Structure 1
Amino acid sequence: MISAIVWGTGNVGRLSIRAVEAHPALKLTGVIVHDPAKAGRDAGDLAGLGRALGVTATTDIEAVLATGPQAVVYAASGDIRPDDALADINGAIRAGAVVVSPALYALYDQRNAPPEMRKAVLDAVAEGGGSLFVSGVDPGWGNDVLPLLVSGVAGTIDVIRCQEIFDYTTYDQPDSVRYLVGMGQPMDYEPPMLAATVPTMVWGGQIRLMARALGVDLDEIRETVDRLPLEDTVTTPSMGEFEKGTQGAVRFEVQGIVEGEPRIVIEHVTRIHASCAPEWPSPPDGDGAHRVIIEGEPRIEVTVEATDQEGNRAAGGNATAVGRLVGAIDWLVDAEPGLYDALDIPLRPAVGKLGGTRP
């Protein structure tokens, strides 16, 4: 069994504990938390499993890394603390651990990452013998390996489009929804996630990675953003009221331009209620879906709907993203130390998971 720790117990961290516990090749041996109020609690409690796992959370990073874990799932956020996240991850790599994480957007396409960041990681690899694989939670595989897999059965290809389409009516993340994305804010509010260059910072690496896999040169990466106000006040079960006239829907694209045309596109369509922007793409049913569309001959469309036990599609999508990361750990442990991306890590059958049993 591969000893693995989970660092961070927010939305991604809770799912990571569950994924490690479910993986037949992994054994959860530690959990690192930032909030002292979580210290001393059992990992099963923090993950909402309804049973104890016999692993107690701690704020003592050095003590956990000193136990020599073979793998670290770094689930702490890097959105507003990328330098701290990089330092944490490099510390784990120097301790000899394989690290998987969604925290560092710039490393989605590690070959084209900022040279100073790439050098810092490779120096840590050389010093400690660990490895790093970064993939997104939107989910990453929906914006890299899935469209590339589908492209392999296409005839001619005009455009590859990856869509995330979500209705946040039942979502319970008010800070992200109201302030990062701007739902319920006046139309003159400037949401941080939609500020110029931010979508490219987050998703540009996936555009570049797909271009590299497809053997095409990008002219540039462009962004488009559309926002629409609510026509009526709506009330959501978890986040309360969103007033008429405030932002109710967002649609943006990150476009990889090839020979002057958008050929590789990552598109997000987000609503606070199903009644918003009915003319925009909608999920087949429920509150969300991920979709890959190959425009060409033939036209190919693949829709993925992942749902958690409470029926939440956003959480289900996050769980598949975590599954991609955690599922790479045993491959990385057997591989040479290094810095890896989604094109390096194979998708493999889930050996030992069928029926929910562990060997």
Structure 2
Amino acid sequence: MIPTVVWGTGNVGRLAIRAVAAHPALELAAVIVHHPDKVGLDAGRLGELGHDTGVVATDDVEAVLAARPRAVVYAATGDIRPDGALADITRAVRAGAVVVSPALYPLYDHRSAPPEFRDPVAAAVAEGGGSLFASGVDPGWGNDVLPLLLSGLGTRIDAIRCQEIFDYSTYDQPDSVRDLVGMGQPLDRLPMMLAPSVPTLVWGGQIRMMARALGVELDEIRETVDRRPLERTVTTRTMGVFEAGTQGAVRFEVQGIVDGEPRLVIEHVTRIHGSCAPDWPVPPDGGDGAHRVIIEGRPHIEVTVEAADEGGNRSAGGNATAVGRLVGAIDWLVEAPPGLYDALDVPLRPAVGRLARTGRKQP
């Protein structure tokens, strides 16, 4: 069994606890929390497992890493604290751990990452012998392994479009939704996530990975952004009131330009309420979220993934699939040499040992 730490117990961390507990090769060794109210709580409660695990949460990072865990799922946010997330992750890598995390977007493609992100991790790998695999934004596989797998089914590829379409009214992360993305903010205020070059910082690495895998040279990466106001005030279950006239929907693209045309595109269509921007793309079933890959060419291929968790919540489902990809890679990474890894390095493998054997319906 591989002793594994879950660091952070928010929207991603509670799913990570469940994923580690379900993996036959992993053993939950510790849970690190920041909020003092969570210290001492059993991991089973924090991960909503329905039973205690005997592992209680701690905020003593030094003690946890001193025990030399073999793996760490770093689930704390990096959206609004990238420097803090980088410091935490390098600390775990320097302690010799395999680290998997969605927190550091620039390291999704470490080959093109800015030196201020890549160099500290590379130094920690050299010093401590750990590893890092960063992936998971919307939800990682939707912009790398899935479109590349589907491209292999075509005879001619004209363009690849990866879409995330989501209604965030059920997403309980106000710092990201209100401040980073700008939902509920005046349209004359440009939120951080939509500022020029920021979408490329977050999603450009995945564009570059697709180009590298397909053997094409990028002319450049471009961005487009469109925003719409709410026509009426709405109240969400998790994040409260969003006023009429404020930003209610945003649509942007990160475009990989090949031979002067946008050939590799990552598109986001995000709403705070389904009534906003009804003419923009929606999930095929009309639900609150989906991930789509569209391969233009011969043949034309479209695949839609609708994942749900925690009572049918699709934002939780998207997070769960991202976590599943990361946690499912740990045992492979433990056997691999120390280093920085991306989604093209780490194979997507069958869920060996995780097929449920109880509670199945009889034929």
TM-score (norm 2): 0.95
Classify the secondary structure of the residue corresponding to 1:279: coil
Q: CA deviation at 1:241?
A: 3.0
**Is the contact between residue 248 and residue 272 of structure 2 (CA under 8 Å) also seen in structure 1?**
yes
Structure 1 match to 2:61: 61
Structure 1 match to 2:361: none
**Is the contact between residue 203 and residue 266 of structure 1 (CA under 8 Å) also seen in structure 2?**
yes
Classify the secondary structure of the residue corresponding to 1:109: helix
Does residue 113 of structure 2 align to residue 108 of structure 1? no
Structure 2 match to 1:348: 349
Distance in structure 2 (CA, Å) of the matches to 1:260 and 1:98: 40
Identity over the aligned pairs, expressed in percent? 78
Does residue 339 of structure 2 align to residue 338 of structure 1? yes
Q: Give the residue type in structure 1 aligned to 2:321.
A: T
Deviations 1:24-45 (A, max 9, x none): 1100010111222211111111
Name whichever of 239-248 and 11-20 sits farther off: 239-248
Name whichever of 59-68 and 78-87 sits farther off: 78-87
Q: CA deviation at 1:2?
A: 0.6
**Is the contact between residue 43 and residue 56 of structure 2 (CA under 8 Å) also seen in structure 1?**
yes
Distance in structure 2 (CA, Å) of the matches to 1:167 and 1:268: 11
**Is the contact between residue 79 and residue 176 of structure 2 (CA under 8 Å) also seen in structure 1?**
no
Distance in structure 2 (CA, Å) of the matches to 1:77 and 1:150: 31
Does residue 226 of structure 2 align to residue 226 of structure 1? yes
RMSD between aligned residues: 1.4
**Is the contact between residue 200 and residue 221 of structure 1 (CA under 8 Å) also seen in structure 2?**
yes
Distance in structure 1 (CA, Å) of the matches to 2:166 and 2:203: 17
Q: Give the residue type in structure 1 aligned to 2:203.
A: W
Structure 1 match to 2:320: 319
Does residue 72 of structure 2 align to residue 72 of structure 1? yes
**Is the contact between residue 256 and residue 265 of structure 2 (CA under 8 Å) also seen in structure 1?**
yes
1:130–1:274 Cα change, 3 Å: same
Q: Give the residue type in structure 1 aligned to 2:353.
A: G
Distance in structure 1 (CA, Å) of the matches to 2:120 and 2:244: 48
Deviations 1:23-76 (A, max 9, x none): 111000101112222111111111122221110111111110111111001111
**Is the contact between residue 93 and residue 129 of structure 1 (CA under 8 Å) also seen in structure 2?**
yes
Distance in structure 1 (CA, Å) of the matches to 2:270 and 2:119: 36
Distance in structure 2 (CA, Å) of the matches to 1:107 and 1:266: 17
Task: Please give the residue correspondences for 1:300-319 in structure 2 after superposition, counting only pairs within 5 Å.
Answer: 300-319=301-320
Distance in structure 2 (CA, Å) of the matches to 1:179 and 1:163: 22
Q: CA deviation at 1:12?
A: 1.1
Q: Give the residue type in structure 2 aligned to 1:113.
A: A
Task: Please give the residue correspondences for 1:146-225 in structure 2 after superposition, counting only pairs within 5 Å.
Answer: 146-225=146-225
Distance in structure 1 (CA, Å) of the matches to 2:238 and 2:73: 29
Distance in structure 1 (CA, Å) of the matches to 2:208 and 2:354: 33
Distance in structure 2 (CA, Å) of the matches to 1:220 and 1:67: 46
Q: Give the residue type in structure 1 aligned to 2:178.
A: R
Distance in structure 2 (CA, Å) of the matches to 1:67 and 1:239: 38
TM-score (norm 1): 0.96
Distance in structure 1 (CA, Å) of the matches to 2:284 and 2:126: 48
Distance in structure 2 (CA, Å) of the matches to 1:239 and 1:263: 37
**Is the contact between residue 105 and residue 137 of structure 2 (CA under 8 Å) also seen in structure 1?**
no
Q: Give the residue type in structure 2 aligned to 1:318.
A: N
Deviations 1:169-204 (A, max 9, x none): 333333322222222222212222111111111111
Q: Give the residue type in structure 1 aligned to 2:337.
A: E
Structure 1 match to 2:134: 134
**Is the contact between residue 95 and residue 130 of structure 1 (CA under 8 Å) also seen in structure 2?**
yes
1:356–1:264 Cα change, 3 Å: farther
1:324–1:356 Cα change, 3 Å: farther
- Structure 2 stretches lacking a partner, 5+ long: 359-363
Name whichever of 226-235 and 295-304 sits farther off: 226-235
Distance in structure 2 (CA, Å) of the matches to 1:311 and 1:171: 12
Which ranges of 4 or more aligned residues in structure 1 deviate by more than 3 Å?
A: none
**Is the contact between residue 137 and residue 322 of structure 1 (CA under 8 Å) also seen in structure 2?**
no
Structure 2 match to 1:265: 265
Name whichever of 122-131 and 92-101 sits farther off: 122-131
Q: CA deviation at 1:116?
A: 4.3
Structure 2 match to 1:252: 252
Distance in structure 2 (CA, Å) of the matches to 1:318 and 1:278: 25
1:71–1:261 Cα change, 3 Å: same
- Structure 1 stretches lacking a partner, 5+ long: none
Structure 1 match to 2:91: 91
Task: Please give the residue correspondences for 1:270-289 in structure 2 after superposition, counting only pairs within 5 Å.
Answer: 270-285=270-285, 286-289=287-290
Q: CA deviation at 1:81?
A: 2.3
Name whichever of 46-55 and 159-168 sits farther off: 46-55
Q: Give the residue type in structure 2 aligned to 1:218.
A: L
Distance in structure 2 (CA, Å) of the matches to 1:10 and 1:127: 30
Classify the secondary structure of the residue corresponding to 1:273: coil
Name whichever of 112-121 and 48-57 sits farther off: 112-121
Distance in structure 2 (CA, Å) of the matches to 1:312 and 1:71: 28
Distance in structure 1 (CA, Å) of the matches to 2:70 and 2:12: 20
Q: Give the residue type in structure 2 aligned to 1:311.
A: G
Name whichever of 44-53 and 169-178 sits farther off: 169-178
Classify the secondary structure of the residue corresponding to 1:291: strand
Classify the secondary structure of the residue corresponding to 1:228: strand
Classify the secondary structure of the residue corresponding to 1:263: strand
